[in-house]
Chain A
Amino acid sequence: AIQLTQSPSSLSASVGDRVTITCRASHDISTTLVWYQQKSGKAPKFLIYDASSLESGVPSRFSGSGSGTDFTLTITSLQPEDFATYFCQHFYDYPLTFGGGTKVQIK
């Protein structure tokens, strides 16, 4: 099974900061990587598909990049509503594993 390793597991940032989260795959997964945002007690929200395409309705301060084994999620100018936990997931083959998550906290 393909493993996804996210880093860091948590970070502290201020409103207006640029934040970058990394997701590394154990095997080449092309661009079959997606990102979600999850707030406490809520279901995940779909943010990015195909590694770099923004889901409809998601603010443009979110962006994704990468292919193969190394991927990043970037939030430019962090907003108060962006404090949450972010997960990557691959769709290369089954099982569809998730990364361990990155919690973005207020500094």
Chain B
Amino acid sequence: EVQLSESGGGLVQPGGSLRLSCAASGFAISNYAMSWVRQAPGKGLEWVSAIGGSGPGTYYADSVRGRFTISRDTSNNTLYLHMNSLRAEDTAVYYCAKRVSILRSGFDSWGQGTLVTVSS
């Protein structure tokens, strides 16, 4: 069974840093494109970042480019999101999501989310 479990959220001051983790089980993250998606309180979904399944490519939303870095550790099957220079507008629940496959669109598995609150 495919499972994703995020951790690392919490309260951080503006300008601070945080690292989110997404532990995967039931599949190898090296074989799939993975993304981070966030949802601010009471708002819609916002795609944040992705890392390619087979290659080293990484992709970012304009709102986080230069501040966030996506990475993965295939030895422990974990996806990360390193967040620097955090702003109030980064406050959201952050989900990790697995793309169905290289050839098929859609995120078919999601974690439960981890809340990041940026506030002084």
Contacts and interface: CB of A to CB of B under 8 A. Distances in A.
B106 A43 contact: no
A32 B100 CA distance: 13
17 contacts: A33-B105, A34-B105, A34-B106, A34-B107, A36-B45, A44-B45, A49-B106, A50-B105, A89-B45, A89-B106, A89-B107, A91-B105, A95-B62, A96-B47, A97-B47, A99-B44, A100-B44
A55 interface: yes
A55 B35 CA distance: 19
A19 to B, nearest CB: 19
Contact of B100 (A36, A49, A89, A98): A49
Interface size class for chain A?
Answer: 20 to 34
Contacts of A95: 47, 59-62
Interface of B: 35, 37, 44-47, 50, 59-62, 95, 100, 104-108, 110-113
A5 B113 CA distance: 25
Contacts of B113: 43
Interface string A8-44: 0000000000000000000000001110101000011
Contacts of B107: 34, 36, 44, 46, 89
Closest 10 A-B residue pairs measured CB to CB? A91-B105, A43-B110, A94-B59, A34-B106, A49-B106, A98-B45, A101-B44, A96-B47, A46-B108, A95-B61
A100 to B, nearest CB: 5
Contacts of A99: 44
Contacts of A91: 105-106
Given A46-B100, A98-B44, 10 more contacts: A32-B105, A38-B45, A44-B45, A46-B106, A49-B100, A50-B104, A50-B105, A91-B105, A96-B35, A98-B37
B95 A43 contact: yes
Given A49-B100, A94-B50, A94-B59, A87 B108 contact: no
